[in-house]
Amino acid sequence: MTRPLVVQKFGGTSVGTVERIQEVARRVAEGAQASRLIVVVSAMSGETDRLLKLARALSPDPLPRESDVVVASGEQVTSALLSIALDARGVPAQSFLGHQICIHTDDAHTKARIRSIDSARMFAALDAGKVVVVAGFQGVDGNGNITTLGRGGSDTTAVALAAATGADACEIYTDVDGVYTTDPRIVSHAHKLERISYDEMLELASLGAKVLQIRSVEFAKRYNVRVHVRSSFNDEPGTWVVPEESNMEEVTVAGVAFDRDQSKITLTDVPDRPGLAARIFSPIAAKGIVVDMIIQNTGAAGKTDMTFTVPRVELDAALRIVRDVAREIGAGDARSEGDITKVSVVGLGMRSHAGVAAQIFETLAREGINIQMISTSEIKVSVVIDAKYTELAVRVLHDAFLGAKETNG
Ligand code: ASP
Ligand code: MG
């Protein structure tokens, strides 16, 4: 009987100090008694930011190839430190950098995608009775250049390794106990979800529940990897992110998420002609700015207004582009007004329960909260509201769908 194979990933806070690394080593040593382990580590907390700052101190626009070499060092250090800590406890371990286990990626530096992984060297080390410790977040492109997978990318390393090795489980140890129905700092009776489907998690992740890198969830979905997100500070079970199960639709709403990092741009008097949406959004996309919600009104007198949201950090850049286009196409003014928040209610059960959107609107109306924009998908309703009502909106929506004070919805 071979022992089960488990991938465990420890995030930055979990390995943030020498003491924390020792604590992780204790946990890994315990787990290694029952399972063969592949352990993925992030850089020590704050380290990636520190390294990026060093690069930016030398150039406002560091070469992406060199930037990747700089930041990949954070994970290199922790992988070796954890191996040393394990060895000191008498647990044989060996560290591996991305290229040493052939984590091949494309060449999109700073946001590379994994293409393939060769598990042979990991299995050889496992067969030799060692714990395999992998530096997360990094890979190597077709020309042998070091690449990184985007912020939070160690999650994706862990899920990809679980998929590549056919691991029995993938455990992501982090500084929260799991995925909550909403941010417990806003709603104290928010509760931990026992399990959530990939699709719900994707909606929640992209909406600001920053528990897992979005790409790791996409990966998990594609390869059917069941992911257990749990705390590295206690032994409580966390949240399982899993394929959709038949009874999941019984719960209408899984969670209420919010995103304070968006801004809204309105462009008035856009001539109502074919091709103009493309003229406006193509140059924005070309700059790599992700437009989220878009609303276009029905034209009147040959003109229409267009409102859309962009990440707040890219507001100025987006406004500059839109103003240039506006001049070229003879549109009116482009402006951004007020601080906004996008609040989203997410749940597989929306597919089979009618009237969720109406209930959301009524709930907000009762509090006098004005809705500025609305967008919906099969399992999500998002509204844009004035940022000053964020807490209130999240609280009343959570209470409406997930229970006031009562837990276990
Ligand atoms: N160290 C990288 C970051 O801070 C990757 C990770 O932690 O997952 O984004
Ligand atoms: Mg993370």
Check pocket membership of 151 for ligand 1, CB cut-off 6 A. yes
CA of 244 to the centre of ligand 2 (A): 24
Q: Are 41 and 150 found together in one domain?
A: yes
Q: What is the pLDDT of residue 188?
A: 93
**Strands 5-10 and 36-41: what pairing?**
parallel
- CATH number, domain of 320, equals 3.30.2130.10
| Least confident among 52-61, 296-305, 359-368 | 296-305
pLDDT digit string, tens, across residues 54-81: 999 999 999 999 999 999 999 999 999 9
Q: What is the pLDDT of residue 208?
A: 61
Rg (CA), the chain: 23
Q: pLDDT tier at 310 (50, 70, 90 boundaries)? A: very high
CA of 233 to the centre of ligand 1 (A): 19
* Residue 358 in domain: yes
Domain end call among 133, 148, 175: 175
Q: Are 138 and 35 found together in one domain?
A: yes
Domain end call among 175, 203, 229: 175
Q: Name the pTM for this structure.
A: 0.88
String of b and e for 21-35 (b: at least 16 CB within 10 Å)?
A: bbbbbebbbebbeeb
Q: Are 134 and 254 found together in one domain?
A: no
Give the structural domain span for 332.
246-409
CA of 187 to the centre of ligand 1 (A): 28
Q: pLDDT tier at 407 (50, 70, 90 boundaries)? A: very low
CA of 152 to the centre of ligand 1 (A): 4
Sheet (strand 227-231) strand order? 93-96, 131-135, 36-41, 5-10, 169-174, 227-231, 239-242, 195-197
* Residue 239 in domain: no
Q: What is the pLDDT of residue 207?
A: 67
Domain end call among 121, 146, 175: 175
Name the nearest CA neighbour of 79 among 33, 24, 26.
Answer: 24
- Kindly report the number of other CB atoms within 10 A of residue 171's CB atom: 23
* Residue 187 in domain: no
pLDDT digit string, tens, across residues 149-168: 999 999 999 999 999 999 99
* Residue 219 in domain: no
Q: Are 39 and 146 found together in one domain?
A: yes
Give the nearest ligand 1 atom to 75 CA: 1
Q: What is the pLDDT of residue 404?
A: 78
Give the nearest ligand 1 atom to 149 CA: 5
Query: Per-residue pLDDT averaged across 371-383, rounded?
Result: 94
Best residue among 14, 15, 42, 103 to mutate for probing ligand 1's pocket (most ligand atoms within 8 Å of CB) is 42
